[in-house]
Amino acid sequence: MILNIPPDTKEVSIFLSGGTDSALLLYLICINKVDVVIHPLTAVEINSPFNKIAVINIMQEIRSVFPDIIIKDPIFKYFSQTNPTEDKANHFKYVMKPLAHRVSFDGTTHNPPMADMIELGMYNDRQEARDNNATTNILKFKPFINIDKKEIANLYIQYNLIDNLLPLTSSCVNPTHGTEPCKECWWCKEKHWAFGKYDFE
């Protein structure tokens, strides 16, 4: 997959959540542009900080595959989902986005088809903004915005990442002890719909 990174770009940022989409996007940045410095930015929910572990593991794997690319240590910023003034949406708007570079990458994908979401009990809890096709802003790259997670799974197969990168990712927002997915949250259902497996499998 070709990312149209402006040729004069020397530094980029990526919102690295620890999930499948942003992990793949980090890999794709590395194979598309080897002379760039990458700055990962990670939001961590105080009461469920397990995605931080996934980010650390993903970083270790990507750095081992691309030892010549400069990937800075992630900047971790913590928020509380129970505090309306510090919830995830406000956290991204007021804390994460100001840290982003001129060229920043976001791994947001399109929602699954409506019929599949209804069948799996995902429809009512979906992020409605992900229902519609969008135009990618050249300075804030969202290369997956018009594809769903099943297409992400196909890219994992295409780049032979199923056995090494996928097991390091974490989608569940409420894993037991950080090692057992709840299998009930929206993100667990989406991952299983696309990959046929949950976290840590």
Give the tens place of pLDDT for each residue, 41-67.
Answer: 999 888 778 899 999 999 999 999 999
Return phi, psi of residue 81, to 5°: -70, -20
Give the tens place of pLDDT for each residue, 53-106.
Answer: 999 999 999 999 999 999 999 999 888 877 656 667 777 777 888 888 888 999
Residues 74, 49 contacting (CB under 8 angstroms): no
Classify residue 82 by burial, with Cβ atoms within 10 Å: 0-12, 13-18, 19+.
exposed
Give the separation between CA 58 and CA 166, rounded to whole angstroms: 9
HEC profile of 149-164: HHHHHHHHHHCCCCCC
Task: Indicate the pTM of the whole model.
Answer: 0.90
Fold classification of 11-195 (topology level)? Rossmann fold (3.40.50)
Residues 106, 69 contacting (CB under 8 angstroms): no
